[in-house]
Amino acid sequence: MTQPLPVEILLGIYLGILTGMFPALISWGLGFLFKYVTGVTIPALAVVVLALAIAGINGGLLALMDPAVLESGGRIVVALLVVMMLALYAHSKGDKMGAEFPRRLSLGTLRERTLSADVIELVGSRGEVTIEVVGEVVDMEGYPPLSEATRSAIKDGEWPLPADIPLSELETRFAERLKTELDLSDVSVSIDERGRATVVAAPPLSGLSKRVPSGKRAVSVDALVPTGLARGDEVLVVAGDLSVAGTVVSARSGGKKDDRPKTDGGTPVDAAEDAPAPVVAPATTGGEGRVTVAVPRSDAERLLGVQRAKIVVTSRGTRREFELVSLLRRAGKRFRKLTVTAGSELDGASLGEANVRDVHGVAVLAVKSAGGWKVAPRGSTTLAAGDELFAVGRPAALGTFQEVVT
């Protein structure tokens, strides 16, 4: 039965919404997928035809249950107009979302996530986070169990690390620090966005021989040991006319004995009296003691006959590259090494064509390719898949540039 015109219009709108919701969802999905995958926008006519076809099926199913639904032609016309508008609107939104959505969302990109801002402790102009080891330190399968002292050192130690690096690099640095300071054979670390770490570790499987570089020998001598001497320091072992340069691999001195915590079961570590001591690299307390140094084989034979020697700590000098890195960090800049992948925007393009500095806000300092290094490359430098770029810029700009490179 025919209803008054306002009622027919309302019924048509209701029918259009009822039959057009599913076609609108299909239109949004197709618009998003086509734009995201191929970068192509589906023609509006194709969207309308598809939406009307699906709406016609829905309307036919409704008519089977209630034939009166399709008795009025005006009602059907209004419903079709509503279906068309819903489909076109949904398609435009899906197309826009497909154009704006990040196109290279991968596991590698997810691993580049960083810590949450509320866990970062600002120290001067530098952001630091203290890693907290949660849960029990788990023994690594296939290795002997950890000692309780080592387990406690990992669990209770203070581990400050830079907070402005990806979690994957933060995990690597924490694992390397545990290996270096506690002499662990192997470490597996997982850190979440709150700076909480779970650690699986293996105890040391060797002692001194693990620290001696290949091609060198370790020789121990009695000496007056300087205060603060630590593993890795460069020293001169002087005995009469003999002077041998070497690297400290272990040292023990007979300074004032105290109950300070020890990182390797030997050398005490300075700590505040009212707070738990952080785990740091072991250093000597000074006084009479014994020093083991790694020296070339020929020098090792000369030192074997020495009963007592003098230890002179040599300076490593100032590394200008580290000063440069420090200046850049103060200016909010960072370094990053990126590898050009096949099919990326830079594969086969020159730096000038890519206009890297103006478009992406980063500077390419060097390019390492199959032909060798190019420092401060010119704009005519053509890039290829596999080339390594060393770029500097702000963290956000480097992150965007990495998407372009990879």
Dihedral angle of Cα 120, 125, 126, 128, to the nearest 10 degrees: -30
Q: Are 252 and 308 members of one domain?
A: yes
Q: Is 110 within a domain?
A: no
**CA-CA distance, 254 to 328, in Å (whole number)?**
43
Kindly tell me if the per-residue pLDDT of 272 is higher than 50: no
- Two tokens, residue 112: 């580049």
**CA-CA distance, 346 to 403, in Å (whole number)?**
11
SS3 letters across 284-350? CCCEEEEEEEEEEHHHHHHHCCCCEEEEEECCCCCCHHHHHHHHHHHCCCEEEEEECCCCCCCCCCE
The pLDDT-based confidence of 17 (bands split at 50, 70, 90) is: confident
3-state helix, strand, coil in the chain (%, to 5): 40, 25, 35
Kindly tell me if the per-residue pLDDT of 199 is higher than 90: yes
- Two tokens, residue 149: 């002292």
Q: What is the pLDDT of residues 122-162, one digit of tens each?
A: 443 446 788 889 989 998 887 888 889 899 999 988 888 88
Residue of higher predicted confidence among 275 and 165: 165
Domain region containing 87: 5-100
Q: Is 192 within a domain?
A: yes
Q: Is 209 within a domain?
A: no
Kindly tell me if the per-residue pLDDT of 271 is higher than 60: no
**CA-CA distance, 195 to 397, in Å (whole number)?**
24
Residue 327 sits in a domain whose CATH number is 3.30.70.1450
Kindly tell me if the per-residue pLDDT of 193 is higher than 90: no
Q: Are 347 and 303 members of one domain?
A: no
Q: What is the pLDDT of residues 334-383, one digit of tens each?
A: 878 888 888 888 888 888 888 888 888 888 888 988 888 888 888 888 88
Q: Report pLDDT for 71.
A: 65
Q: Report pLDDT for 123.
A: 41
Q: Report pLDDT for 49.
A: 86
Q: Report pLDDT for 112.
A: 56
Q: Report pLDDT for 186.
A: 85
User: 9 in helix, strand or coil?
Assistant: helix
Q: Is 158 within a domain?
A: yes
Q: Report pLDDT for 331.
A: 77
Q: Which helix (H) or strand (E) holds 131?
A: strand 126-133
Q: Are 300 and 266 members of one domain?
A: yes
Percent residues over pLDDT 70 in the chain: 79
| Inter-residue contact 120 to 127 (CB < 8 Å) | yes
**CA-CA distance, 117 to 121, in Å (whole number)?**
9
Report the candidate in 211, 216, 223, 217 with the shortest Cα–Cα distance to residue 182: 211
- Two tokens, residue 51: 């939406």
Kindly tell me if the per-residue pLDDT of 5 is higher than 90: no
Residue of higher predicted confidence among 172 and 59: 172
Q: Are 375 and 390 members of one domain?
A: yes
Kindly tell me if the per-residue pLDDT of 204 is higher than 50: yes
Mean pLDDT over 27-56 rounds to 82
Mean pLDDT over 271-285 rounds to 50
The pLDDT-based confidence of 232 (bands split at 50, 70, 90) is: confident
Mean pLDDT over 256-274 rounds to 41
Q: What is the pLDDT of residues 56-66, one digit of tens each?
A: 777 666 666 66
**CA-CA distance, 257 to 192, in Å (whole number)?**
40
User: Which of residues 248, 282, 313 is at a domain's end?
Assistant: 313
Q: Report pLDDT for 395.
A: 83
Lowest mean pLDDT among 220-224, 271-275, 391-395: 271-275
Cβ count near 202 (within 10 Å): 19
- Two tokens, residue 324: 């440069």
Q: Are 36 and 13 members of one domain?
A: yes
Residue of higher predicted confidence among 137 and 108: 137
**Tell me, what DSSP letter sits at residue 136?**
P
User: Which of residues 290, 313, 336 is at a domain's end?
Assistant: 313
What phi and psi values does residue 293 have, to the nearest 5 degrees?
A: -120, 150
Q: What is the pLDDT of residues 300-339, one digit of tens each?
A: 888 888 888 999 998 876 666 666 766 777 777 887 888 8
Provide the CA 158 distance to its chain's centre, in angstroms: 21
Q: What is the pLDDT of residues 66-98, one digit of tens each?
A: 666 666 667 778 888 888 888 888 888 888 887
How high does pLDDT run on average in the chain? Answer: 78
Contact partners, residue 72, CB within 8 Å, separation at least 6: 2, 3, 8, 11
| Inter-residue contact 295 to 244 (CB < 8 Å) | yes
Q: Is 252 within a domain?
A: yes
Q: Is 107 within a domain?
A: no
User: Which of residues 100, 134, 156 is at a domain's end?
Assistant: 100
Q: Are 38 and 88 members of one domain?
A: yes
Q: Report pLDDT for 321.
A: 62
Q: Report pLDDT for 285.
A: 82
Residue of higher predicted confidence among 40 and 275: 40
User: 360 in helix, strand or coil?
Assistant: helix
Domain count, the chain: 4
Q: Is 105 within a domain?
A: no
Q: Are 85 and 146 members of one domain?
A: no
Whether the pTM exceeds 0.75: the reply is no
Q: Are 159 and 126 members of one domain?
A: yes
Kindly tell me if the per-residue pLDDT of 260 is higher than 70: no
Q: Is 138 within a domain?
A: yes
Q: Report pLDDT for 266.
A: 42
**CA-CA distance, 354 to 264, in Å (whole number)?**
52
